[in-house]
Structure formats: structure tokens, C-alpha cells
Amino acid sequence: MNTVDNELKKMMLHATLLANLTLLKEKMPRVYDAFKGYKPTGTGVAIDDDGNENLFNNGKFAYAENPREFAKKQVDKFLKNPIYSHYNMKHAVDVGIVFKHSALLKSIHNVRNKETNNKVSRPTNENRLEFVCFLGGGLGYQVEELLNKKVVRNVFLFEPNFNSFYALLHCIELRPLFNKCLSQGGVFTIRVGGDEHTISNEISKLLMEQGHFNMSLIHFFQHYDSPLLTKSMDKMKEVAHRWHGGWGFFEDEIIGISHTLTNLKNRLPVIKSANSYKNKLKNFPLFIVANGPSLDSAIAFLKENQDNIIIVSCGTAMRALLVNNIKPDIHIEMERPASLYAHIEAVNNLESNPIKLNDINIVALNTVYDGVFKFFKQAYLLTKINDAGGSLIRHLDKKQMYSYPLGTNPTVTNAALATAVELGFTKLYLIGTDFGYLSNEHHHSKHSFYYNKSYKWQEGMKKNMETKMTVKGNFTERVFTNNLFDSAKSNVELLLTHYPHVKAYNTSNGAHISGTQPKNINDISFNSTLTNKSKKVTSLLQDASSLELLSEVNVEHYITQSQHALKQLLEQLIAITTPYFTTRAQLIEAFALQHKLILKIHKENEMVYILIQGTFKYFQTYILSNTYYYDDLAKRAEFMNACIDVFHDHLADIYQEFVVAYDQPAKV
């Protein structure tokens, strides 16, 4: 290639850079700020000996052949053998189904199971791909090529190397690609730099903004091999379940409102924000005791030191402590079903138990069934955020005096940790907080009721614990875990990042918890003594809680107002999906409109948003996920519309339940 051609190509490369910087300034200002005056080092775009734009890195060209031709071959290979994640859910056996949403979701599964061969054909055979995640940008030709061959609604492009991305900005024009996604109602998102956690967090953010139904099927296109991109793929496989965990259902929220109303009527005080009182015990060691397998090896230590430490028991761990004559100073509960009553009653009736529950304080989420509290000395409520009942307390809290802690679920250990930091404790020891197990047989403390012959769900529990999923161990290289435990661990880690002054020591031989320091139980020692412990803990809880503002006067008005607002919103949402849909793309556009309306109501009425957001996320995502089993487009359309019809009926049914049963006892 002659000098003139080279100069012309360089001018075109520079023109493309300027055009891309203009786009980034308009659409992605943070990316623009990183590259507006960027000076690459060691890596950049250059013209190779064959006259092709190529990536020059560490003294040599990265592409051994024409980068454009390489991109075409790579796209062809991807289309023939795509890598993707496909949303699915586990269903309970029929005898175990109590809730209407569970029954309906399983019926959708059953219909699909009957009408298809239960196999997803190659999804890249579809003309339109809903979500493609590009791992590694290179010069970007593969992105351009794929979007020329397929209609793509959402694109997420991750390039960890700043120099490489700067080279990409010279080679492909981003505006046409951006507009292609925009024309489909989607987005073209770019992330430059970061680690394996970055991709997962960015995808989670995209789903929250664009709608979680977009995760029904996500394609992953890896452009080049690197340790970071390999780790990124592994991390997404490990944590993808967190993108759809804990959304909640309309029926759950009705129960939460019912229990919250009853607990407020029973005048149970609510934990206040930490800056409104002093915790004179904050520097004393507090032990959060969960029911993991490691609890068994800590029993002797707890028994010997219980007079000089504060012990917080988590759910089923209480039984393991009591049968070993260890008295918790505070007990924590967070499960909302009324069936929790039977478990607490069974513990209370243990003949061999010298310690009675009526000598123990309990802190529980506002959603917990009121019957549980009668067994305990004094009950206190901790407000659950992202909960309809919790939003009721927040609405009454005109002085903003109550605590609204992060990360109180999905397990009682999460609620216990949230309680501890909200009360102001600064030195925490985690016992039995395994969030995993060394063997599928030893999944909880052997002192708990899970191993009693009389425990009727023993086989079901054993089946639930069967897993191949592993995570980094606290004292061992890897431990088994499951989606629930991993989500719980993630929320603990997130909570601790918000309380950097809190020192947390993990004594459990289970999963490693970021933000905690591994510490063997036998290496813990104390110099101080704690006199009159019971009296001081009771005094703390009394100082830390209040009933102010929580009268019933304004409750009914707020609920009536929310019922009216919800009725109007549901009518709008249902109207959007009333037409007959002939393609999945049409249904996705409708779901996107619904998503925007639901986000809008979040700013106007928190309770209305919380009541329905989870139900819409689950049904939208699951309906779309199941459409991928249908190759026959006519049958696919029939299936989609049948699902929408029954979903409409379900919404009308549950709304009526909200109107007539929001203040009635729970169904389970």
C-alpha cells in the first residue's frame, strides 16, 4: 500500500474517532470524559503490512489476518454455536403449592412441557436477538458484523483495556449501532475497565433500567481469550441467579401488610435509627449464631463464655443453643408465613429445655406473624425495606426516626446482621454463618430439628441441599453452596461495605465472606466481663425502639389510597397487553411499556410499586423464557397470548384479595 493510501486511512480513522467522541459526549458522558484527551501507551490502532487497520500491542499486531475477515468468521461461528444463559425456575411438587402464583407459574411450565420437546433450539436462528453481551471489544468489527446480520435489541460491550477501546473508537462508527438498538426500544451500553465483578454489576443495572424480562435469554460473545474475560464468564455463571432473586410476589406483600398492621395494633415498638440513642454495649463482642454446620464445633466455646458475650440467635439456631443450655440475649426471626408459629411452639415445648422463651427478647421483621411473639419476653420490630408493610411504617414515620436497614433477607442471618449494625455494635463474630457446607449430608447444625426423625420435610430439605455449585471457602479451598445461601452471603458482603467501622470475624468453616476476617473459634479470647448482661440488653432494646407516630389513625387512609392507585395502574398495565400478539418482539415492546409505568409509580406510591413489581418481573421473564421452546411461530403466539390471558385473571384475583384480605390473618 502506498503512502497516499496510508495517509487517507489514517485520516478516516481520525474522523471516526471524532465522530465517536461526539456520540459519547451526547449519550455516554462518563465514557467521553475518560477518552476526550486520551493518550494511549503501548497499544493502539495501526496500518499493518497488508494495509489493514490492526491492533498493535507489545510490539506486534494482535490480529494474524485481516481483522474484518476474522470478525466475520467469528460471528459465523457464534451464530452456529452460541453461548447463552436461559432463565428457568424450580417448581414445587403439587402437594407443596399453597400460593396462586406458584400454581399458575407451574401451569405455564406444564403447558409448555406438553406442547414442546422441552429443548431450546439454537436461539441465534431467530432474526432478532434480545440481549447480547460482548466480552472484549478488540477493534469492534465483530459488533458491527453481528448487528448487520441480526436485529439486536440490547447490547452491552465490555472492554477491560482502555488502550484497546481507544483503538476501537478509530475503527467502527458507534452511532449507527447505537441507533439500531434504540430503534428496537433497547440500549447500546459500554463499560471500559473493571474486573470480573464489573460485568455482573453492569448487567444487573441494565436489567433494572430496561426490565428484568430481558434476562429471559442473554447471549455472550467473547472476542478474545484473556484470564480476566475467563474469570468474568465464570463469575457470571456463579452469580447470575442474583439478578432475579428476591423479587417477591403480590401475595407475599399482602401477607406482609396484614402482619405489619397486626403488629402495630399490638403496639410492638420499632427499632429507631442508630443516631437517636446510645448503645453502651457497642464495644462488647456480639456473636451472631446461625444454624450452619460450624455451629456444632462452637457449642463448647459459647457455653463457656456466654456470661461475658452477647449472643444473637438466628431462626432455627435457637433450638441448637437451648438444648445445650445456652441462652440467647436476642433472638431474630424474619420469615413471614404463619407456619413459623409451629416451629417456635415446638421449641418452646421442649421438655429437656431449662431455658424458656419468655425470658428471651426477640427482634423480628415487621412482616413476621404476630402469634410468634407471644412466646417471648418482649418483641421489637425491625423495618424491612422494599416491602409493602415496611413502606407502611415509612409512610407513618413523618419524623424519619426509624431504622431502614439494608440487606435483611433472604435468610435470618441477614436480618440478624442488619439488627446488630443498626443497634450500633462494632465487633461482630459470625458463628454457624456457613452459607455453604462441606458435604450435602451435613448442611445445618446437627443439634437443629432438621435431623429429627419427626421432621416431616427432611427428605425435601436433603434434596434442596443437593448441589454442584461451589464457592471459595473460609478455611478450605471450596465449599458447596446453593442460590439461596450465595444470595444471602452477597447481601452480607454488601451490608458490611456500608459499615466500614464494623469489624466482623468469620469463625465458620463455610463460605468465605468478603469484608470479614477468618478467625478460628479457639483463637478468640476476652479480657472484659459483662455484668448484669440481661438487664443491659433489655435497656438497650428499650432505648433503641419506639411507638411514636405509629398509631392506626392514618393507616386505613393510606391503604385505601393505595388500593385506588393500584386499581388504576393495573387497568393501564392490563390494557397494554390486551391486544393479540403475533410475535415475541411485540410482546417485549408491551412489557417494556409496562416496565416504564411501574418505574414511574415507584416515585409516586412506594407501596403500590412494591405490591406488584415482583409479580410482573417473574411472570414477564418466565413467559418470555418459555417462548424459546417453541419453533412453530403460530403455536408460540397461541402460547404467549394464553399466558397473558391467565396472568390478567391472576392480577384481578390477587387485587381483589388485597382489597378484602389486607387486614386478615395469613393464609399459611
Q: Which of 223-232, 402-411, 562-571, 622-631 has the lowest mean pLDDT?
A: 223-232
The pLDDT of residue 4 is 61
Whole-structure pTM value: 0.90
CB atoms within 10 A of CB 33: 11
Q: What is the residue-wise DSSP string for 330-395?
A: EEEE---STTHHHHHHHHHT-TT--S-GGGSEEEEETTS-GGGGGGSS-EEEEPPSSSHHHHHHHH
Q: Tell me, what amino acid is at 583?
A: T
The pLDDT of residue 210 is 96
The pLDDT of residue 466 is 62
Q: Is the peptide bond before 410 cis (omega within 30 degrees of 0)?
A: yes
For residue range 506-545, what is the model confidence (pLDDT) as tens digits?
999 999 999 999 999 999 988 878 999 999 999 999 999 9
Cα dihedral 48/53/59/61 (nearest 10): -80
Which CATH architecture does the domain made up of 268-546 adopt?
Alpha-Beta Complex (3.90)
Whether 180 has a pLDDT exceeding 60, the answer reads yes
For residue range 571-599, what is the model confidence (pLDDT) as tens digits?
999 999 999 999 999 999 999 999 999 99
The residues pairing with 85 across neighbouring beta strands, listed in sequence order, are 218
Which triple of cell numbers denotes residue 453? 426423625
Whether 155 has a pLDDT exceeding 70, the answer reads yes
Q: Which of 48-62, 190-204, 235-249, 601-615 has the lowest mean pLDDT?
A: 235-249
- Per CATH, 3-81+121-244 and 268-546 having the same topology is answered no
Q: Cell 460491550: give the residue.
A: 157
CB 336 within 8 A of CB 369: yes
Q: Which of 60-69, 344-353, 496-505 has the lowest mean pLDDT?
A: 344-353
Give the CA distances from residue 119 to residues 115, 122, 123, 387, 626, in Å, rounded to whole numbers and listed in that order: 11, 9, 11, 37, 10
The pLDDT of residue 199 is 85
pLDDT range class, residue 450, cuts 50, 70, 90 = low
Output the CA angle 231-234-236, nearest 5 degrees.
110
Calpha distance 369→384 (Å, rounded): 14
What is the separation, in whole angstroms, between the first and last Cα of the chain?
78
The pLDDT of residue 642 is 98
CB atoms within 10 A of CB 371: 17
Higher-pLDDT residue of 123 and 437 is: 123
Domain boundaries along the sequence of the chain: 3-81+121-244, 268-546, 552-661
Burial of 466 (0-12, 13-18, 19+ CB in 10 A): exposed
The pLDDT of residue 249 is 93
Pairing mode of beta strands 217-222, 83-86: antiparallel
CATH of 3-81+121-244, one of 3.30.420, 1.20.1070, 2.60.40, 3.40.50: 3.40.50
The pLDDT of residue 448 is 61
The pLDDT of residue 94 is 80
Q: What is the 3-state secondary structure (H, E, C) of 553-597?
A: CCHHHHHHHHHHHHHHHHHHHHHHCCCCCCCHHHHHHHHHHHHHH
- Interval 184-209 mean pLDDT: 91
Nearest to 139 by CA among 61, 196, 23, 203: 61
Which triple of cell numbers denotes residue 225? 481469550
For residue range 127-146, what is the model confidence (pLDDT) as tens digits?
999 999 999 999 999 999 99
Whether 269 has a pLDDT exceeding 90, the answer reads yes
- Give all strands (DSSP E) within 414-495, no chain letters: 427-431, 470-472, 478-480
pLDDT range class, residue 163, cuts 50, 70, 90 = very high
Nearest to 625 by CA among 214, 249, 330: 214
Nearest to 68 by CA among 21, 9, 11: 9
* Helix (H) / strand (E) containing 250: helix 250-265
The residues pairing with 191 across neighbouring beta strands, listed in sequence order, are 158
- Interval 91-98 mean pLDDT: 81
Whether 444 has a pLDDT exceeding 70, the answer reads no
Nearest to 201 by CA among 240, 162, 164: 240
pLDDT range class, residue 98, cuts 50, 70, 90 = confident
- Interval 632-644 mean pLDDT: 98
Whether 443 has a pLDDT exceeding 60, the answer reads no
Whether 217 has a pLDDT exceeding 60, the answer reads yes
pLDDT range class, residue 454, cuts 50, 70, 90 = low
Instruction: Among 34-48, 230-244, 376-390, name the most confident range.
Output: 376-390
- Interval 58-74 mean pLDDT: 92
Mean pLDDT of the chain, nearest integer: 91
The pLDDT of residue 445 is 62
- Percentage, residues of the chain above pLDDT 90: 75
